[in-house]
Structure 1
């Protein structure tokens, strides 16, 4: 049985859509030196703060992490510790690690709070990373070309051209 550690990155913009004020979120997962799962989507609800939208996407990322853990387990790929999920919002990490519901977070839908249990049971381990190092930024907003290319290289995503279509 192989032991490795899956690492996730989660990020969002806040109210980035000028049409409906909804946020765009994204996540990416790596195993070893390769990214193998990523997604970007517009949130279904309007978040009232950056902490809220980051918490929502962290919960969605956690859900994906648990699903990927189960798939990897079936493939005899055992985790070497909890999945680290990097987030660039310290408030989100604090909310995740604090089992107490506070007045400031009571408006966040209960369905997202399972992330606290996943952290307590060591399925995930939320960690801070700077916005500069946040790979998931590529999924959430338009970026300057240099930054986009840097994140694209970190993801090891390359352009594939089919003959006569490029």
Structure 2
């Protein structure tokens, strides 16, 4: 408690002030918590002095409410920067927000091994047989593909846990996004697909994202889309991944909000999402006062979408996506972004948009810096 009081004074958390007339002071209380490490061992005891917020009245004691959250990419950016820079040494972090941090000559590896083990235990999948990929190649999941699953609560809680695992596991992002679309009424087929993800995780418990030291602070992104892939509504799936030098710092697999009328439109919407992420990352660096290369490259395997990004002529078939068109063209014209072509077989974002065969899946995972530390095996 003494340490907490010293910290409050040092950081000027609170200021002493005169209590206005007609007002009653809000009380405080001590909250205690036991902090544990990745092995479940007691690391330290934490005490916090907090205000009794339940005694406050809206419009009198406070006017705005908010929940402070952090974007996952921010955490990965900090770890990525911590490997190309010399920082003040405050001790090595080993366990942070459920993420385990491992150090080696190759760099810093983030994984969630303990979290996976706890999830396997919770779902009674500790002794399951591992599999090579998190999804079945020929299975088309849709809303009413089988009878309803008898325990929808288990399905929803498991999918929620898998969503948190995507903090360090881009390899399961696509299938977790797909399974998240059936939370309202999961079927036995959906639960079977969910168990396959758990089987895949059983065989790749030590896998995580590797951050390597690099003198290069350039941003590049891979953007892709699987046109009309949803059996239920024919909406497309967008996927992109962003690299800072050799390090993967951001990725996304998401169902598009509207039906795309062509593969070009689907790919273009994916380009827009990747561009927006690059713009945000650049603003983040600007706030930190870190200089990076001014122009970022987005790799796309759709020639029509690339042409649309630089061609100032509108066609009838593109008027309904004018917002995305103008947004990307503005960034291309200002030389913040450059869209380049690459062959489909070199498209890293494929792993975020569709099921693929095991050999290619494992190859793409390696290129996405998804590795297992030898010391963890």
TM-score (norm 1): 0.90
Structure 1 unaligned regions, length at least 5? 161-166
Structure 1 residues 46-85: Cα deviation after superposition (integer angstroms, max 9, x where no partner): 0011000001110111111100111122223322231100
Kindly indicate whether the alpha-carbon contact (under 8 Å) linking 2:216 and 2:245 is maintained by their aligned counterparts in 1. Answer: no
Cα separation, 1, equivalents of 2:250 and 2:227: 23
Cα separation, 1, equivalents of 2:346 and 2:279: 23
1:76–1:97 distance in 2 versus 1, CA, 3 Å: same
The partner residue of 1:33 within 218, 227, 246 is 246
Residue equivalent to 1:111:
323
Counterpart secondary structure, 1:126: strand
Count of aligned residue pairs for this structure pair: 160
Structure 1 residues 10-59: Cα deviation after superposition (integer angstroms, max 9, x where no partner): 00100111111111111101011111111110001000110000011101
Cα separation, 2, equivalents of 1:31 and 1:52: 27
Structure 1 residues 68-147: aligned runs within 5 Å: 68-108=281-321, 110-113=322-325, 114-147=327-360
1:24–1:147 distance in 2 versus 1, CA, 3 Å: same
Structure 1 residues 95-128: Cα deviation after superposition (integer angstroms, max 9, x where no partner): 00112222231232x2212111110001100000
Kindly indicate whether the alpha-carbon contact (under 8 Å) linking 1:3 and 1:78 is maintained by their aligned counterparts in 2. Answer: no
The partner residue of 2:279 within 57, 66, 70 is 66
How many angstroms does 1:130 deviate by?
0.9
> How well do the aligned residues superpose, as a CA RMSD in angstroms?
2.0
Cα separation, 1, equivalents of 2:239 and 2:303: 17
Kindly indicate whether the alpha-carbon contact (under 8 Å) linking 1:4 and 1:77 is maintained by their aligned counterparts in 2. Answer: no
Structure 2 unaligned regions, length at least 5? 1-84, 86-214
Counterpart secondary structure, 1:12: strand
The partner residue of 1:51 within 264, 271, 277 is 264
Cα separation, 2, equivalents of 1:58 and 1:91: 12
Cα separation, 2, equivalents of 1:159 and 1:137: 21
Could you say which structure has the larger radius of gyration? 2
Kindly indicate whether the alpha-carbon contact (under 8 Å) linking 2:238 and 2:269 is maintained by their aligned counterparts in 1. Answer: no
Whichever structure has more strand as a proportion of its residues is 1
Counterpart secondary structure, 1:4: coil
Kindly indicate whether the alpha-carbon contact (under 8 Å) linking 1:3 and 1:77 is maintained by their aligned counterparts in 2. Answer: no
